[in-house]
Structure 1
Amino acid sequence: MLTVLKIGGSLAEHPAILRQLCQEFSALAKEYRILIIPGGGEFADIARKLYKNYGFSNIVAHKMGILSMDQFGLFLSDIVVNSFVTYSLEEIRKSAKGKVPIFLPSTSMFREDPLEKSWDVTSDSIAAYIANLLQAQKLLLVTDVDGIFYEDPKKKLDAKLIEELSAQELLSWN
């Protein structure tokens, strides 16, 4: 059974929390098969800023976003004990308990990427796509946001937390 942990890049802004989480991921790997897929974090923020300032194509922006995931993944590989970076889905399929593969998606996604080339496709979307390809039993999104909200709680302090959400309800959202 494989569990995919997508680690939000924004967690890098909280060093103590991220280090603690990385220790916990290493401990979990002793008993469970896990895979880490990194977010883009500050690296993706730079790509967004350049996109806004220069207006280059969505294809280039999408690829820069994917490369930002690779950069954050390399960073994570240095703080997750017993981790290794991989570009290979096959290597992930063969991985055993005890080691923590960190998937750097650029090679795989540049070869075959059926996803829309826009900022609507995020590292969360890519993690879900990869989890599906690997037939993972679970996908956990580890972020600095405490759940799913109707509105961005960082922008609107009284944003309401969604207590429960079915897949059907989620799919019905625009």
Structure 2
Amino acid sequence: MKPVVVKLGGSTAGAAAASLWADALSKAALPLVIVPGGGPFADQVRLAQPQLGFSDAAAHAMAILAMEQFAHVVLDGRPRLVAARTLDEMRQAHAAGRIPVWMPSTLALAATDIRPSWDITSDSLAAWLAGQLDASALVLVKQSGDFSEQDTVESLSRRGIVDAALPGMLPQGVALCLAGPAEMASAAAALAAGSLVGVPIGSAATAVRRAG
């Protein structure tokens, strides 16, 4: 079975949703890979950049390390979850019945196809990882419900619900779903039963084909 990449948005940090989602994901029957958002740790990088004057390349590296800080929050107290830095470590975790939480610095900082820009957040990094893993789906967990099945990845990007780079970084053949507060109540049961969560989102090309 192909893995499913789930990005747990940093926007959930500091709210009950972060713990509830992490608990639900830790019980999933699907072969998940959890990608942590940067949350308040990445916000500190944004605040510090104009004050300290460091480059976007330095900010990119620091924001990726911020994702690893939130990863430790997700891992804390959930023994089925395990930190994973490489694709092999993710596969080994699945083989052992565990759920890897991506620590992205090893792979993402070495990747020449990930440009250092604030347009690329954990949304696009999760999409990039989905391509590396040949994942079946990417689920983005947000602290927002401002999306519907009528949306496309392009319309979400224009409204700032997902980052600006995601339309170009989402691999072909990887289904995209968004999940928010409305999906939280049913998430634990669905994941434990081996089902995906979230609202399916298409691309502009998919929307044209549907309409035609």
For normalisation by structure 1, the TM-score amounts to 0.81
Letter in 2 for 1:151: R
SS of the residue 2:62 aligns to: helix
1:1-174 alignment runs, 5 A limit: 1-14=2-15, 16-28=16-28, 31-94=29-92, 95-96=94-95, 98-148=97-147, 151=159, 166-168=202-204
Would the aligned equivalents of 1:124 and 1:141 in 2 still touch at CA under 8 Å? yes
Residue in 2 that maps onto 1:156: none
Letter in 1 for 2:109: F
Would the aligned equivalents of 1:25 and 1:80 in 2 still touch at CA under 8 Å? no
Query: Could you report, residue by residue, the CA deviation over 1:90-113 in whole angstroms, capped at 9, with x for unpaired residues?
Result: 111332373110010001122224
SS of the residue 2:101 aligns to: strand
- Structure 1, gaps ≥5 residues long: 154-162
Identity of aligned residues (%): 34
Q: Does the C-alpha gap of structure 1 residues 59 and 152 become closer, same or farther in structure 2, counting only changes over 3 Å?
A: closer
Q: Distance in 1 between matches of 2:201 and 2:136?
A: 19
Q: Does the C-alpha gap of structure 1 residues 147 and 169 become closer, same or farther in structure 2, counting only changes over 3 Å?
A: farther
Q: CA deviation at 1:42?
A: 0.4
- Aligned Cα RMSD in Å? 2.2
Deviates more, 1:51-60 or 1:135-144: 51-60
Q: Distance in 2 between matches of 1:89 and 1:103?
A: 9
Matched length: 158
Would the aligned equivalents of 1:86 and 1:103 in 2 still touch at CA under 8 Å? yes
